[in-house]
Structure 1
Amino acid sequence: MVNMKYQFTNELSLQFQSCPVTLMELQSSLDQHLKEFVQIQQKYIATKMQFQLKRYEDMITEIELLQTLSSFPLSSDQQNRINQLVHLQEKQIQFYEDLLKLEARVSIDFLPRSFDELEYFVTFVDYFPV
């Protein structure tokens, strides 16, 4: 009985001595992976912010151009051209919305019924790292 206790004590001592080394390796590996993850997320956020900044800059430029154009008196021909362009843009938006509706209908009609069950197995991520 004493011999078994001594054997188990020795075995536990050996395991205990190897444990900190294993934990240190695991810790350094985790630290490295966390650093890589943080770098990826920083790149993603920077890219997303640059995209939003560019979009806002474009919107500001568009507003400034519109204000500049609207400050000058337009001839009736120029006004007609602008109205035609606005009308074309509205048609383009309507066609795009119709296309999206058609794509949704087609995908609903052609997807198998079991496709609805996939939402229980698939989790959605709001972002994709770059």
Structure 2
Amino acid sequence: MIGSDFMSSATDDSMELEAFRQRRQLELQQQLEQQAKQQAAAEIESHSQAQEQQALDQAMKTILTSDARSRLTNISLVDTDKANLLKRQLVTLHEQQKISIPVNDEQLKRILTSLSKSRRDASIRRI
């Protein structure tokens, strides 16, 4: 009697252990799949950003003179976000035909000044 109870208990433990192993394996597999999806999404996003940056850089070759491109490169070294914002603004102005091509250094300075001024005006002030 005691032996059969022991065998029954051992079998139950073995079944529980096997069920636990299967659940754990399933959890690990799901984690790996989730990580793979996240990595793929990050790679797609990175590739998309690289393509957008490449398109902006190519557009700058058309829109700007060499002096203006040099100034934009200097801005990019100091503040990449500002440079990217300026590039997008230049593309938008070009698409709307609000600027004449090629934009020289003086025109770029004026656009940059107006862009900086509009950003300062939009800041939140405490009273």
TM-score normalised by the chain length of structure 1: 0.52
Evaluate the alpha carbon distance shift between residue 28 and residue 73 of structure 1 in structure 2; reply closer, same or farther with a 3 A threshold.
closer
Q: CA RMSD in A?
A: 3.5
> What percent identity do the matched residue pairs reach?
10
Quote how far apart the aligned CAs of 1:22 are. 0.8
The size of the alignment, in residue pairs, is 93
Quote how far apart the aligned CAs of 1:73 are. 9.8
Amino acid at match of 1:60: Q
Work out the CA distance in 1 between the residues paired with 2:62 and 2:47. Answer: 22
Q: Cα deviations across residues 38-75 of structure 1 (Å, max 9, x unaligned)?
A: 11111111111111111111111111211233358997
SS in 1 for 2:64: helix
2:25 aligned residue (17, 31, 41): 31
Evaluate the alpha carbon distance shift between residue 51 and residue 36 of structure 1 in structure 2; reply closer, same or farther with a 3 A threshold.
same
Work out the CA distance in 1 between the residues paired with 2:7 and 2:119. Answer: 74
SS in 2 for 1:86: helix
> Which of 1 and 2 has greater Rg?
1
Amino acid at match of 1:89: L
Corresponding position of 1:84: 110
Evaluate the alpha carbon distance shift between residue 89 and residue 18 of structure 1 in structure 2; reply closer, same or farther with a 3 A threshold.
same
Structure 1: give runs of 5+ residues left out of the alignment: 1-5, 106-130
Work out the CA distance in 2 between the residues paired with 1:50 and 1:95. Answer: 36
Residues 41-120 of structure 1 aligned to structure 2 (within 5 Å):
41-70=35-64, 78-79=103-104, 81-91=107-117
Q: Which has the higher contact order (CA 8 A, sep 6+)?
A: 1
Work out the CA distance in 2 between the residues paired with 1:13 and 1:95. Answer: 81
Work out the CA distance in 1 between the residues paired with 2:49 and 2:112. Answer: 21
TM-score normalised by the chain length of structure 2: 0.53
Work out the CA distance in 1 between the residues paired with 2:62 and 2:103. Answer: 15
Amino acid at match of 1:49: E
Amino acid at match of 1:83: K
